[in-house]
């Protein structure tokens, strides 16, 4: 078995805490750098059940089937849980004797999330503690994949479930930024996915989107975010005079 007592991830934990306390591009990059270097504990089940040798190491059959366990949020979205140490994994496992573990880095999650049979939308790191969400697009970005282009035009509407915490955090950011005139939030509804669209009327360049994304991802619960200028072709005619911005200078 993996020696979970040797799994600490102190630097990764520190980077997550710093990012949550002070969201910024610099701290986000530090988290990315630590995550890319780290190995985490991933719960699995084996079929057939493994045996153990005298040293208590797992003996797996040649045709073993590995089933990765998932957890769901309140919106029934699925994630691969990633535990950072023995204590948190064992507490979640709760003496379930058929639950084992393997060690993963971000590339392992990249392979899982891009498998044709995958149903998860991301990875929940320390899900019952610090709980930081890395959605599929972020994992793909860490792997060096180019960001997917928007190939289909979505239906744009008001969010059915309003992300109050995220909007409040973005409002505070806008309040202290003189370059933002107005900010709106919309749902971008695609054939197989819904994204949050953050639409800005601003006077600065698009680098501001990276700062806002760092803040918003902490509250998006794995839902992908799209940041757009108010004059973007995608949203022309979608913002009406009756629409109320969540921020206005």
Residue 6 in this model has a pLDDT that exceeds 50: yes
- The pairing of beta strand 78-82 with beta strand 71-72: antiparallel
pLDDT above 80 for 145: no
Q: Render pLDDT for 226-245 as a digit per residue (tens, 0 to 9).
A: 999 998 877 877 888 888 99
Q: For 155-168, how does the pLDDT look when each residue is reduced to its tens digit (9 = 90+)?
A: 898 988 899 999 99
Per-residue pLDDT for 4 more than 80? Answer: no
Taking the alpha carbons at both ends of the chain, their separation in whole angstroms is 58
3 burial class (0-12, 13-18, 19+ CB within 10 angstroms)?
exposed
pLDDT tens digits, 205-226: 888 888 898 899 888 888 889 9
Cβ neighbours around 172 below 10 Å, total:
12
State the virtual CA torsion across 219, 122, 80, 57 in degrees, nearest 10: -120
* Tokens, residue 79: 């994630």
- Residue in this structure with the two tokens 């059940």, named with its chain if needed: 49
> For 157-186, what is the mean pLDDT?
92
Higher pLDDT, 97 or 3: 97
Q: At what angle do helices 25-37 and 10-21 cross, to 10 degrees?
A: 160
Distance CA 159, CA 63 (A): 46
Task: Report how far apart, in Å, the C-alpha atoms of 187 and of each of 26, 103, 199, 238 are.
Answer: 28, 36, 11, 11
**Choice between 4 and 98, residue whose per-residue pLDDT is larger:** 98
- pLDDT at site 210: 85
Q: What is residue 150's predicted lDDT score, i.e. its pLDDT?
A: 44
Max CA separation in the chain (angstroms) = 73
């Amino acid at each position: 078995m993996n020696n979970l007592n040797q799994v600490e991830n102190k630097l990764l934990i520190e980077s997550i805490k710093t990012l949550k306390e002070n969201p910024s591009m610099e701290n986000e990059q530090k988290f990315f750098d630590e995550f890319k270097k780290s190995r985490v504990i991933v719960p699995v089940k084996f079929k057939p059940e493994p045996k153990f040798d005298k040293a208590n190491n797992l003996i797996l059959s040649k045709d073993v089937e590995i089933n990765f366990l998932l957890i769901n949020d309140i919106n029934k979205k699925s994630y691969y849980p990633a535990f950072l140490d023995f204590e948190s994994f064992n507490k979640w496992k709760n003496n379930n004797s058929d639950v084992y573990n393997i060690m993963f880095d971000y590339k392992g999650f990249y392979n899982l999330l891009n498998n044709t049979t995958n149903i998860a939308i991301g990875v929940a790191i320390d899900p019952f503690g610090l709980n930081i969400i890395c959605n599929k697009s972020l994992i793909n970005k860490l792997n060096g994949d180019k960001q997917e282009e928007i190939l289909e035009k979505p239906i744009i509407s008001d969010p059915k479930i309003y992300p109050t915490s995220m909007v409040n955090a973005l409002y505070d950011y806008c309040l202290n930024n003189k370059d933002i005139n107005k900010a709106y939030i919309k749902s971008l509804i695609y054939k197989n996915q819904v994204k949050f669209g953050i639409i800005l009327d601003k006077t600065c360049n698009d680098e501001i989107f990276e700062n806002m994304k760092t803040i918003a991802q902490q509250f998006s619960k794995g839902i992908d975010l799209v940041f757009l200028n108010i004059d973007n072709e995608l949203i022309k005619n979608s913002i009406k005079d009756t629409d109320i911005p969540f921020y206005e200078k």
